């Protein structure tokens, strides 16, 4: 139980600091640290990430930095394909799922180490209206948000991740939102997608063990700590540290699957 608390707090802390890291680390924490299989870890990871992200989203709503209409729209498009991801996770062999998961983690680690090229706001499909301060719902912008939500929902159901590792870079690339707004909006979307995916997994017969519930509660505590610390840590240092940690965890999972 102590290990579940420690790993849960670290997962929630990562999610609270980056708005993207918790989901990608929750499954490895459960698989490597607590001996879960990928299939058993998926519903626990989804519930932990969803509950923790919900706390972060509520904090963002209180501060008026969440683009809740965009988050709810992306959540709907994500929910439409989440069940497909759940079915894929049950159909693929364990080694295939792990290999896919590791490949995604290494890709993310590489992307986060690089400085993204600056994109002029005038060429982003999701732009704010300077007069109202709200997103302009143009056809291109709407399709872009729908695509982000759909991809996040697919990976949530298939790999037990909240999708933040896709949502945050995508919103940075295709919108002119501030980073604080992106993280808060990402947390709301992660909460909506993860909790809906968790419900679907439970409906398919998944069971949350006692250690899983402890992990969930600890992740929520880690989220509270992370949201308090985030404003005081340079974003560059956070990205570098998370990138290195992600690569180490990915290689550890690969070694565990194929060598031991």
Q: What is the pLDDT of residues 114-126, one digit of tens each?
A: 755 444 555 678 8
**Pair 67, 145: CB distance under 8 Å:** no
Q: Quick one: pLDDT at residue 208?
A: 92
b/e per residue, 32-50, with b = 16+ CB within 10 A?
bbbebebebbbbbbbbbbb
How many residues does the structure list for the chain?
A: 260
Mean pLDDT, all residues of the chain = 83
Only one residue has tokens 């929630």, namely 12
The answer for residues whose C-beta is within 8 angstroms of residue 167's C-beta and 6 or more apart is 20, 74, 148, 152, 186, 189, 190
How far apart (Å, rounded) are the C-alpha atoms in residues 32 and 222?
19
Q: What pTM did the predictor assign?
A: 0.76
Q: Quick one: pLDDT at residue 122?
A: 53
* Comparison of pLDDT for 51 and 164, the residue scoring more: 51
Question: 206: closest CA among 38, 42, 25, 4?
Answer: 42
Q: Quick one: pLDDT at residue 163?
A: 66
How far apart (Å, rounded) are the C-alpha atoms in residues 45 and 185?
20
Q: Quick one: pLDDT at residue 215?
A: 96
- SS3 state at 128: strand
Q: What is the mean pLDDT of residues 177-182?
A: 82
């Amino acid at each position: 139980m102590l290990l579940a608390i420690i790993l849960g707090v670290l997962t929630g802390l990562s999610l609270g600091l980056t708005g993207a890291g918790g989901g990608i680390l929750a499954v490895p924490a459960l698989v490597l640290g607590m001996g879960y299989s990928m299939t058993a870890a998926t519903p626990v990871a989804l519930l932990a990430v969803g509950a923790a992200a919900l706390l972060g989203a509520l904090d963002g709503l209180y501060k008026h930095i969440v683009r809740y209409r965009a988050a709810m729209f992306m959540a709907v498009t994500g929910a439409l394909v989440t069940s497909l991801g759940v079915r894929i996770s049950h159909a693929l062999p364990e080694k295939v799922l792990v290999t896919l998961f590791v490949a995604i983690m290494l890709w993310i680690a590489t992307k986060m180490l690089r400085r993204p090229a600056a994109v002029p706001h005038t060429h982003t499909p999701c732009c704010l209206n300077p007069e109202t301060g709200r997103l302009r719902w143009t056809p291109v912008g709407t399709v872009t948000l729908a695509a982000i939500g759909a991809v996040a929902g697919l990976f949530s159901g298939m790999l037990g991740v909240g999708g933040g590792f896709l949502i945050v870079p995508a919103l940075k690339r295709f919108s002119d939102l501030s980073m604080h707004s992106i993280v808060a909006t990402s947390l709301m979307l992660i909460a909506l997608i993860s909790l809906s995916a968790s419900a679907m997994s439970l409906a398919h017969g998944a069971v949350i063990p006692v250690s899983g519930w402890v992990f969930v509660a600890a992740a929520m505590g880690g989220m509270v700590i992370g949201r308090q610390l985030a404003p005081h840590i340079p974003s560059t240092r956070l990205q570098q540290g998370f990138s290195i940690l992600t690569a180490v965890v990915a290689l550890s999972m690969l070694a565990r699957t194929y060598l031991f």
